[in-house]
Chains A and B, each alone.
Chain A
Amino acid sequence: MFRDTLGLALKNALRNRRRTLLTVASISISLFLLGVLLSVYQAFYHQEGPPEQALRLVTRNRVSLTFSLPEYYEQQIRKVPGVRELVPTSWFGGVYIDNRPENFFPRFATDPERIFEVYKEFTVPPEQLQVFQSERTAAAVGKTLAERLSFKLGQRVTIKGDIYPMDLELTIRAIFESDVENQDFAMYFHRKYLEEGLPQSRRGMVGTFGILADSAEAVPRIAKQIDDLYRNSERQTKTETERAFQLSFVSMLGNVKVFLLSICGALVFTILLVAANTMGMSVRERITEIGVLRTLGFTSGRVLSMIVAEAVLISLAGGLLGCGLAWGASGFLRQSQLMLSGLSFSPPVFLISLSIALAIGILSSLVPALGATRLPITSALRHTG
């Protein structure tokens, strides 16, 4: 029964080959775009960080990232139950060589004794770590960064200050590595070195605290407890998971989430209209045939499922094709490093895209199919056109 319905649906789908082909093509192009957009969305918002990330929080000034926190908060935060370790980091900003984007990389002033305790996914050769920790002007750079800018151990690097009124004269003493792609695109140097170069009035401030929790379960409670500590102080804090913190960077680009989702929505809506129009057309041409089938004893439900099956076949064909294209494009974009390195057309995105194709098939055909099958048989038979 099911197989026959499907067989009939397939034959009907191939009735007007050119129209079917065009419909499949337009659905596949839309689903291709949708697939890529969803992959981008996923890369931004749903990518798994390293497992250690689940244990980490970031505390910053409640007002915004550009405001800092007093360093003595560290002692108080350390006393919050569940906090295993924490480390202050301050975004230095500054200019390396010039302002070209190729020469840009994040650089942080931090505590060399603890930075790799909190960021355990970074591995540093022990002898390099030792030199980095003992030399006041030492810097540690990530491997990805080192490769990109050909940094070598022992190389001297000058960074002109902009946020801070001082220049850094650093020597690269350690190269750390992470197994998560692009995680190690950063430079760390001694906070003490920064402090010494600052006028008295600007000392004693920290950008953020990176916190390592005892367990993932403790994370939400720790966040709340820290923020409660400073609820009534002049500088209130905002503590969130590291993941959420990273996303707040993304949202500084504007509301990317809403932007991406609204494009996806518009895309789905448009393709739904196109598909509904095509299905409406092909059903209208077949009103008499529908009357004939019902005269032969086909129930309207049966005819309805045949029409819907036809639309689903067409839209799934388009969907699969589109997913294939999106998969290829994501791979290409990832390799070319033009866009997000984490971009990949993952199984969940594939399933979502295919479900959307399925829904488009059902929704686009349901209205014309209902209209045609609810028509009295006599009217269907008398239909001309």
Chain B
Amino acid sequence: MVNDLVVEATDLHKEFQRDAFQVIALQDVQLTIQRGEFVAFMGPSGSGKSTLLYLIAAIDRPTRGRVEVLGRDILQLKERAVADWRNENIGFIFQTFNLIPVLTARENVELPLLLTHLSRQERAEHAATALGLVGLSDRMDHYPRQLSGGQEQRVAIARAIVSDPSIILADEPTGDLDAQSAQEILTILSRLNRDHGKTILMVTHDPHAARHASKIRYLEKGQLLPEGSPQPE
């Protein structure tokens, strides 16, 4: 296929102005991700991992450089278009699950579909399917507070995949979970990658989690180490 490049970042640079001094979060990052890859990003706190995901998801804008995602120059999109684009193409998973507490599991999962033209009925079906995929068919009408952390994160995954995006970005998805729940989440992500062809970019601190990925990339002080670099000390 001609366009199997899912992410192509060139000279990606991000600085934050904090009070008097500048923080360089990302420094001239070159990154390409192929369709179907499962890439883990590792690195110390503050090395720019989250920032990288945010730039790829068009949640934030780089100070300079280019990002093309799915062949699209996302920096050219206006707010409205960016929102639609993200809704369609990106599923985002947070460390802290970030479910809406007043909505049931099903309603949380349906949220991204409210922005589509699907009927009520279709939305309910899609949500049920997504919740089925993460093994929560029997918890659809539970509220987040009635679920365990692992279950909450599974709902969050269902929410991320319900609009069938081709890219899943996960920022430390197992960071707040016990070993067993973490394993469940990693299994689900692996399956989404293997069986459903999702391209996954996952930030993690956990070497065990990183082993589920097909590739590990290291970040250090805002710099992306060359592919194949060993884990820095």
Contacts and interface: CB of A to CB of B under 8 A. Distances in A.
Sort chain B's interface into a size bin.
20 to 34
Contacts of B159: 296
A297 interface: yes
Contact of A296 (B80, B101, B112): B112
B26 to A, nearest CB: 13
Contacts of B88: 297
Nearest to A286: B100
A294 interface: yes
A295 B92 CA distance: 7
A283 to B, nearest CB: 14
B60 A14 contact: no
Q: Which of B57, B60, B101, B114 has the most A CB atoms < 10 Å from its CB?
A: B114
A288 B102 CA distance: 14
A296 B100 CA distance: 12
Nearest to A11: B102
A299 B79 contact: yes
Given A295-B57, A296-B159, A376-B60, A289 B100 contact: yes
Candidate in B59, B60, B83, B86 with the most chain A CB atoms within 10 angstroms: B83
Interface in B38-82: 54, 57, 59-60, 79-80
B60 A288 contact: no
A289 B98 contact: yes
B87 interface: yes
A297 B84 contact: yes
B130 to A, nearest CB: 13
A298 to B, nearest CB: 7
Contacts of B60: 376-378
A293 interface: yes
A4 B112 CA distance: 12
Contacts of B54: 377-378
A300 interface: yes
Contacts of A299: 79-80, 83
Given A4-B114, A378-B54, A292 B80 contact: no
A39 B97 CA distance: 52
Of residues B54, B80, B100, which shows the largest number of chain A Cβ atoms within 10 Å of its Cβ? B100
Contacts of A298: 83, 115
Nearest to A16: B102
B98 A288 contact: yes
Contacts, number: 53
B120 to A, nearest CB: 9
Contacts of B218: none
Interface in A248-304: 288-289, 292-300, 302
A296 B102 contact: no
Contacts of A296: 86-87, 92, 111-112, 115, 159
Contact of B94 (A8, A11, A292, A376): A292
B24 interface: no
A297 B115 contact: yes
B79 A300 contact: yes
Given A4-B114, A289-B98, A295-B57, A11 B103 contact: yes
Contact of B83 (A292, A297, A376, A381): A297
Contact of B102 (A12, A300, A302, A378): A12
Nearest to A292: B98
Q: Which 7 A-B pairs have the closest CB atoms?
A: A297-B87, A292-B98, A11-B102, A299-B83, A377-B59, A296-B112, A4-B114
Interface of B: 54, 57, 59-60, 79-80, 83-84, 86-88, 92, 94, 98, 100-103, 111-112, 114-115, 159
27 contacts: A1-B114, A8-B103, A15-B101, A288-B98, A289-B98, A289-B100, A292-B94, A292-B100, A293-B100, A294-B59, A295-B59, A295-B92, A296-B86, A296-B111, A296-B112, A296-B115, A296-B159, A297-B86, A298-B83, A298-B115, A299-B80, A302-B115, A377-B54, A377-B60, A378-B60, A381-B59, A381-B94
